[in-house]
Chains A and B, each alone.
Chain A
Amino acid sequence: MNAHRDLPPSLTRCPWLSGADSDVVACSGQTMRTRGELREAIRAWASLSLPEDRDVALYDSDPWRFTATLLGLWHAGRRVWLPGDNLPETVDHLRRRHLILLGELPEAPPAPPPATGFTLASTLSPDHNAVVLFTSGSSGEPTPIFRTLGQLESEVAAFERHWPLGKGVVISQVSHQHTWGLTAGLLRALATSHPFGLSIVTWPETLAEWLMKMPVSALISSPPQLSRLPGAAIGMPDHGPGRLFSAAAPLDHDAAVQAERLMGSELTEIYGSSESGAIAWRRPSQDTTWQALDDVRLRCDGERTLLRSNRLPDPEQWHEQADHIHLLQTHPPRFTLHGRADRIVKVGGKRVSLEGLAHYIEAFPGVLAARCLTIDHSGGRIGAVIAMAREGIARDHDTRRALISALRQHLADAFEPVVLPRFWRFVETLPVNAQGKLTHTMARHLFDDLDDRRQPRWLDIESPTPDQRRITLEIPERLAALKGHFPERPIVPGIALIHWARQQAERLFGARGQWRDMRRVRFPAPLLPGDRAVMTLTRQHDALNVSVTSHRGQHLQLRLLSVASATDDPRESS
């Protein structure tokens, strides 16, 4: 069934056309598709007449339909734009470029009828402008990346030289609308005459089932899937995929070890980018350093990383790469990776510009300024710090939910769900350091409650006088002190408020243990989960007055005596 097994992998020789009609070219746990069917579908698309003066855009989540359409369009000499999603903002962008929309894009025509008599060219040119992929630029506006068939082929060929595939299906867990899923998951299978999977296998349970039913030559995956594999309980068969590949974001060591153990296969991680294609590889279960692929050259020029590769527009030129690296050895290049020079991050394998996201938030009514950062919780989700006028900021659970929901709605037109901020912190002014900058560390402190469930969210701090501090706080719904207090109607226990007041006094006035004896303690109104309140600390020469207030009224009134004066005036006891 694999006529081209002995030839080097190729896209230009169109291996999908040669071989028996009955060869299996794609399958799932249930169905199989043959070369005859694929050829017919390609012919239909290739024969379709489309306006000559416009390019086409294709978004189709179904690998079979996507493959038939893409190959058909290639045979028709077309360049195909591949958007990463089909969100309204993306569709607008494609329309602004006057592209013909195909697949699961609005108003796309149905699949064309069979064109039995139509003859397909048996080879394609390596210079054929095959695809246009998108990457998010630093402004957040997607930037197109152009790839010839030769560039795509060079990547597939490099993979095959380094890790030749054995028998079996190539299963993918990542979308073919992005460069990694396209080349590793789909084109590599087509170029080496291996069957590809008829669907993107998202669930580990489905993966286990497919592995049970058929030999699998490679599993093309990425960290979101690999770091969420359940333990042995899902019944992975003894024979895992021949090879296991991950890319699109760094995979951590533990997840790599776990994935190798569960699947019984070696896991190779590929480092690359949409702009440069595949660059280097490592075994994340064993190495932290990367080794360049055999057709890639790398060097450093001061801070800059320079790269030459057949995947780049001009293989003879040095191109600048956005990531900082540290070269350990030149031949072959080995290096460590030190993050991007710009602020593009990946969440769940999706690239997003933190600046782009923040700018979009700033367009929301009432927002004065916004910053976004990744938070190492819940799989590296994004947190947003948003400055708003006091009137605009939510003051309790319901208004906060409504505000966040409106912000998410606003962002959902332009960003995929996984990159939408999961954690939100609202302040009246962004905290800044002595240079007037909001540093990452300062921004991250606004999310400290995620690391310590005993703490509220500490937000704005004002110093109206040298002896007074006004600290805005919010009660997280998952605050530890709310547990069991009381099950039907949780409120913040008074003792927690007093504890926080002491901690803040020590933090802001730097007098550890000085405030000890309590006087005139009052808890007039309960503080509820989601409430936003202000804690005012006023220092006097022998005492500290504490007050916590919100729109509901006063929640705590307290006078703390300094140790030296604690016994001075017994009449103050309440």
Chain B
Amino acid sequence: MANTELTELERDVANMIIEALELEDITADDIEPDAPLFGDGLGLDSIDALELGLALQKRYGIRLDSDAEENREHFASLRQLSALVAERRSD
């Protein structure tokens, strides 16, 4: 199902997630912008979180906060993560 709600940036971030984590069977359109990335939603786990941290740095030059709670919020959904990228990107 084509998800027309994704912005260009969200699509870009979604593709970064798919590439970085080598997700099969998932395309950017499958990722609901507000669904949780971890746990029940996309089913990502703690190792994925570390991979995403690396990918964010490589792709957008973003440094994560040292506060684990805040990182959890940034990683809550595609939309939250895209908001972080929009705010802090330095690429």
Contacts and interface: CB of A to CB of B under 8 A. Distances in A.
Interface range, A side:
35 or more
Contacts of B46: 202, 224, 348, 417-418
Contacts of A422: 21-24
A422 B24 CA distance: 8
Interface in B7-52: 18-19, 21-27, 30, 39, 43-47, 49-51
Given A225-B50, A348-B45, A408-B43, A206 B22 contact: no
Nearest to A489: B2
Given A418-B45, A422-B22, A203 B27 contact: no
B22 A450 contact: yes
A206 B67 contact: yes
A335 B23 CA distance: 38
A139 interface: no
A401 interface: yes
Contact of B66 (A205, A225, A417, A477): A205
Smallest CB-CB A-B distances: 10 pairs: A417-B45, A209-B66, A378-B22, A348-B47, A228-B50, A205-B66, A206-B66, A418-B45, A205-B64, A230-B57
Contact of B22 (A199, A202, A348, A377): A377
Given A203-B71, A417-B45, A379 B65 contact: no
Interface string A215-243: 00000000011001011011100000000
A529 interface: yes
B63 interface: yes
A203 B68 contact: yes
A477 B22 contact: no
A377 B47 CA distance: 13
B54 A230 contact: yes
Given A202-B68, A205-B64, A205-B66, A418 B47 contact: yes
Contact of B47 (A379, A400, A477): A379
A233 B22 contact: no
A313 interface: no
Nearest to A447: B24
Given A208-B66, A401-B30, 11 more contacts: A29-B66, A203-B50, A224-B46, A224-B47, A230-B54, A231-B57, A233-B61, A235-B63, A348-B45, A417-B43, A417-B44
Given A204-B53, A205-B65, A206-B68, A401 B47 contact: no
14 contacts: A204-B53, A205-B63, A205-B71, A206-B67, A206-B68, A228-B47, A228-B54, A234-B57, A235-B63, A348-B46, A379-B51, A417-B46, A477-B25, A529-B27
Interface residues of B, number: 31
A397 B18 CA distance: 15
Interface of A: 29, 199, 202-206, 208-210, 224-225, 228, 230-231, 233-235, 347-348, 377-379, 381, 397-398, 400-401, 404-405, 408, 416-418, 420, 422-424, 450, 476-478, 529-530
Nearest to B24: A423
A477 B21 CA distance: 14
A377 B20 CA distance: 11
Given A208-B66, A233-B63, A377-B22, A202 B50 contact: yes
Contacts of A398: 1
A262 to B, nearest CB: 13
Given A204-B53, A228-B51, A230-B53, A404 B68 contact: no
Contacts of B63: 205, 233-235
Nearest to B15: A478
A50 B49 CA distance: 39
Contacts of B51: 228, 378-379
A423 B71 CA distance: 27
B53 A203 contact: yes
A418 B19 CA distance: 18
Interface string B51-91: 10110010001011111100100000000000000000000
B25 A401 contact: yes
A477 B25 CA distance: 6
Contacts of A477: 24-27
A389 to B, nearest CB: 21
Contact of B64 (A29, A203, A381): A203
Nearest to B56: A230
A128 to B, nearest CB: 33
A348 B45 CA distance: 10
Contact of A203 (B18, B19, B61, B66): B66
Nearest to B28: A477
A296 B51 CA distance: 37
A423 B49 CA distance: 18
Contact of A397 (B25, B43, B49): B25
A265 B64 CA distance: 23
Nearest to A401: B25
Contacts of B23: 422
Contact of B25 (A348, A417, A530): A530
